[in-house]
Amino acid sequence: MADVVDSATRSRMMSGIRGRNTKPERVIRSLLHREGFRFRLHARDLPGKPDLILPRYNAAIFVNGCFWHGHDCRLFKWPGTRIEFWRMKIGRNQANDAKVRLALREAGWRVGTIWECALRGADKDLGKLTRQTGHWLRSKSGELEIRE
């Protein structure tokens, strides 16, 4: 299936997609701050520049977009054009994610991943998501993954 917009328009649209301060990330930050958690953003000195780090809890949290990280959920669908490019791009993202999680764990950090699909939809219980994240932060558990 051909793209519905020309290549210049598609390029402009794609350049508008940001990797930092995304809406899902801002939602998570707001929820955690409201619960009294304090954090740093995009720590350049850590592998992968986690979206949030909570040094007090020795935790790093990534808020991942389902498309860009190839999440197996209802929000992810392989594009119909430039299939090989997208398979390589998303595959590299997934490999990099695994490498970053391992480097953080080896450096003594606990790693959490909150997927975009956990936040999207009118039926989402953000209170439950906040309780899960807060419980994980206060625990000694190594990894957290919150998905739909």
Domains and their CATH numbers in the chain: 18-146 (3.40.960.10)
Dihedrals phi, psi of 127, to nearest 5 degrees: -65, -40
Confidence of residue 16 (pLDDT cuts 50, 70, 90): low
SS3 content of the chain, % helix, strand, coil (to 5): 45, 15, 45
Beta pairing class for 52-54 and 40-41: antiparallel
- Taken in order 118, 120, 123, 127, the sign of the CA dihedral is positive
Q: Give me the pLDDT at residue 39, please.
A: 95
Confidence of residue 2 (pLDDT cuts 50, 70, 90): low
3-state secondary structure of 18: coil
Q: Give me the pLDDT at residue 19, please.
A: 63
Q: What is the mean pLDDT of residues 110-117?
A: 96
Q: Does the pLDDT of residue 128 top 70, yes or no?
A: yes
Q: Give me the pLDDT at residue 114, please.
A: 96
Confidence of residue 44 (pLDDT cuts 50, 70, 90): very high
CA distance 58 to 71: 26
Q: Does the pLDDT of residue 123 top 90, yes or no?
A: no
The neighbouring-strand residues paired with 59 are: 54, 110
